[in-house]
C-alpha cells in the first residue's frame, strides 16, 4: 500500500502534539510549571501517595525521566517523598499544601487549551474525533 506523505498520520499527529505542548508550556511558564509537571500533579490530585513506578506506568514515561521531573517538583516544594511502612525502600509521592494549591491555576490553563483545541468543531465532530483518537491510541499501545 502506498500512502502519499501529506496523508501520513504520524507527522500530522506529532506536529499537532508538539504545537499543543509548546503553547501549553508557554501558558504554564508564567506560573513556573511545565506540562510534564502538570501531568504528574494531576495524577496526584486524583490519587495522592502514588509510587514512581505507578506514575511512570500511568503516564507512559520512563522512570529516569520521571525521576528528573519529580526531583524538580520536590525542590520547588510541590511534592514530598515518603517511605511506606510495609517497605522502607518504596517511596510514595505526596502533594504538599503548595502542590495542592496549584490545581486551580492548572485547571484554568488546561481549560484554555481545551477551548483552543476544540475551536471550530461541533459536539458531534468532537465525539467522533475522540472516538477515533482513542482507537488510534489502542492501535499503537497494543
Say which residues have a Cβ less than 8 Å from residue 97's Cβ, sequence separation at least 6: none
pTM (2 d.p.): 0.84
Tens digit of each residue's pLDDT (9 = 90 or more) over 89-140? 788 999 999 999 999 999 999 999 999 999 999 999 999 999 999 999 999 9
Cell readout for 74 is 520536590
Backbone phi, then psi, for 81, in 5-degree steps?
-100, 135
Tens digit of each residue's pLDDT (9 = 90 or more) over 37-89? 999 999 999 999 999 999 999 998 998 899 999 999 999 999 999 987 777 77
Backbone phi, then psi, for 93, in 5-degree steps?
-100, 130
Tens digit of each residue's pLDDT (9 = 90 or more) over 79-101? 999 987 777 778 899 999 999 99
Amino acid at each position: 500500500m502506498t500512502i502519499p506523505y501529506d496523508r501520513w498520520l504520524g507527522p500530522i499527529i506529532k506536529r499537532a502534539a508538539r504545537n499543543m505542548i509548546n503553547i501549553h508550556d508557554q501558558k504554564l511558564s508564567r506560573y513556573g510549571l511545565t506540562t510534564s509537571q502538570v501531568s504528574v500533579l494531576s495524577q496526584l490530585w486524583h490519587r495522592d501517595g502514588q509510587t514512581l513506578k505507578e506514575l511512570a506506568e500511568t503516564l507512559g514515561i520512563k522512570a529516569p525521566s520521571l525521576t528528573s521531573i519529580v526531583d524538580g517538583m520536590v525542590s520547588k516544594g510541590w511534592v514530598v517523598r515518603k517511605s511506606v511502612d510495609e517497605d522502607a525502600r518504596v517511596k510514595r509521592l505526596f502533594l504538599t499544601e503548595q502542590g495542592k494549591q496549584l490545581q486551580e491555576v492548572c485547571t484554568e490553563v488546561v481549560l484554555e487549551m481545551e477551548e483552543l483545541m476544540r475551536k471550530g468543531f461541533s459536539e458531534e465532530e468532537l465525539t467522533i474525533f475522540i472516538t477515533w483518537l482513542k482507537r488510534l491510541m489502542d492501535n499503537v499501545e497494543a
